[in-house]
Amino acid sequence: MVIIMVDEPTTSTDYEDDIVVEDGENYHSSNSNGLGIKEITLNQFNKCVIEGSKEMVNGGVQKKLVNGVMHEIQVPNQREIFTNSVIMMEIIIVSKMQKKERKELSVQNVEIDQQIATLQKEYNEEKNRLKSLDKSLQAKKQGVSPGEFIRNKDWYEMDKVDLYRCKLALISKLLDAENYFEEGIAMAMG
């Protein structure tokens, strides 16, 4: 149970007007304005499209000069935001993907999952190779340039983004086949 104080009450009868009580167990079922699964699905699909439309920056700290003062700004990893959005979308629609009549989409999705696993394996192998090379070069008072590690990670992340875009295209086909893009639903969301 959550209790939220709105204003400081002046009399004991003011408590009834100033306290909002929400019961977490029954909150969604008692909410007459709750979203249905189609609206939730379309909201998440929209989030995937929006996040996938942004520049795929790898995140970290960026320095910007504002009025002659250097500021450090923490930038989120847009690549991870997009892939996580698609993963959550898959979780929402997994039962639809497993229907018999959607088997072709499910098979294509599994193939993309296998490509992602292969990509992850190749990335880890290259990362380990670079770490091993770096250790041997450090013994000679040299080392692998940090750019090598960054290029390897960039290559991996951008290939991963491309595969998740393919997943989103499959999800789009599935939602279309399930009539999620009907005009009535779109108008109810707008």
Nearest to 97 by CA among 87, 89, 105: 105
Predicted local distance difference test score (pLDDT) of residue 119: 95
- Alpha carbons 20 and 111: distance in angstroms, whole number: 50
φ, ψ dihedrals at 75, nearest 5°? -110, 130
| Higher-scoring residue by pLDDT: 62, 49 | 49
Confidence tier at 190 by pLDDT (50, 70, 90): very low
* Token pair of 163 as six digits: 């595969």
Contact status, residue 75 vs residue 61, Cβ threshold 8 Å: yes
Confidence tier at 116 by pLDDT (50, 70, 90): very high
C-alpha torsion angle, residues 185, 190, 88, 120 (rounded to 10): 110
Predicted local distance difference test score (pLDDT) of residue 18: 53
* Token pair of 120 as six digits: 């992850």
C-alpha torsion angle, residues 64, 70, 73, 79 (rounded to 10): 40
Nearest to 172 by CA among 96, 120, 78: 96
- Classify burial at 157, counting beta carbons within 10 Å of its beta carbon; exposed 0-12, middle 13-18, buried 19 or more: buried
% of the chain beyond a pLDDT of 70: 74
Contact status, residue 89 vs residue 171, Cβ threshold 8 Å: yes
What does the domain layout of the chain look like in residue ranges? 1-34, 36-189
SS3 per-residue string spanning 26-80: CHHHHCCCCCCHHHHHHHHHHHHHHHHHCCCCCCEEEEEEECCEEEEEEECCHHH
For the stretch 21-45, pLDDT in tens is 444 444 444 444 577 888 999 999 9
For the stretch 128-147, pLDDT in tens is 988 888 777 776 667 677 78
Contact status, residue 141 vs residue 131, Cβ threshold 8 Å: no
Residue with tokens 């193939």: 111
